[in-house]
Amino acid sequence: MKVHRFPALIFIVSFTGVAISLWLSRSFDLVEHCRVFIDGCISISASGRQEPAVFVFRATIIPVGVLLMLVWWLNAQWLKLMGHTSRVQQVAIQVLGTASPILLICYIALIGSAGEIDHAIRQTVITTYFPATLVAKIILASLLLSRCPAELPRWLPRAMLAIAVIVLGMAVASVIFDALMDDPSVAHNLMQWHGTTAFSAWYLLLARAWQLTRFSGRVDLRH
């Protein structure tokens, strides 16, 4: 099985799902027509909150959440095979990366529900899922840099680390804008579109790293 395709699917499926949801929402005049990456008129969740777009949104993003859990569990095994045997590091990777997608799955399952519930879960996802996953990405990239396998060019873990740090910085900036601006919605939307795209594209680099190190998904369940 070509396991390195799993991380790539995270980007492909999520990007496709959001693109189709946005197209459907525009076709049915459910959202404003604009250049979302430039104008920031709507958020990503708004593009898939109403029918019929919500069906596509759920059908694509929920499987992505399950795939995220699998990929982060495999990440811990991958690091172990490359000699990173610290139990603390493995637990951190698995807890931060594997548990946090559950929040994403819950949010997408309930998206479009009553306003207060939708808002509460969305805030939980923003303040918990994204930061936890970004910290897991930073830990993983740092470990790769500290003991970079001969098969990996050093630019690859450096790029993985840079993307994770930049997106985490954007998340912090979003909180600051929220406190300083009267209407931070456009800034939030722009950072969401650009940040989430970079967040998902990170998995393409992970897929390449798995491929170069010939990771087959073989794991040792005895430890």
For the chain, the domain total comes to 1
Q: In this predicted structure, what is the pLDDT of residue 127?
A: 75
- 223 in a structural domain: no
DSSP 8-state assignment for residue 152: S
The mean pLDDT value of the chain amounts to: 87
- 220 in a structural domain: no
- With vertex at residue 58, the alpha carbon angle to CA 138 and CA 50, rounded to the nearest 5 degrees, is 115
Residue that wins the pLDDT comparison between 182 and 8: 8
Residue 130 in this model has a pLDDT that exceeds 90? no
Residue 120 binned pLDDT confidence (cut-offs 50, 70, 90): low
- 123 in a structural domain: yes
- Per-residue pLDDT of 15-50, as tens digits, reads 999 999 999 999 999 998 999 999 999 989 889 888
- 9 in a structural domain: yes
In angstroms, how far is the first alpha carbon of the chain from the final one? 23
Residue 217 in this model has a pLDDT that exceeds 80? no
Which two tokens mark 222?
A: 């005895």
- 51 in a structural domain: yes
Residue 60 in this model has a pLDDT that exceeds 70? yes
Q: Which domain holds residue 50?
A: 5-212
- 217 in a structural domain: no
Residue 116 in this model has a pLDDT that exceeds 90? no
- 129 in a structural domain: yes
Residue 223 binned pLDDT confidence (cut-offs 50, 70, 90): very low
Distance (Å, whole) CA 130 – CA 215: 26
- 166 in a structural domain: yes
Residue 222 in this model has a pLDDT that exceeds 50? no
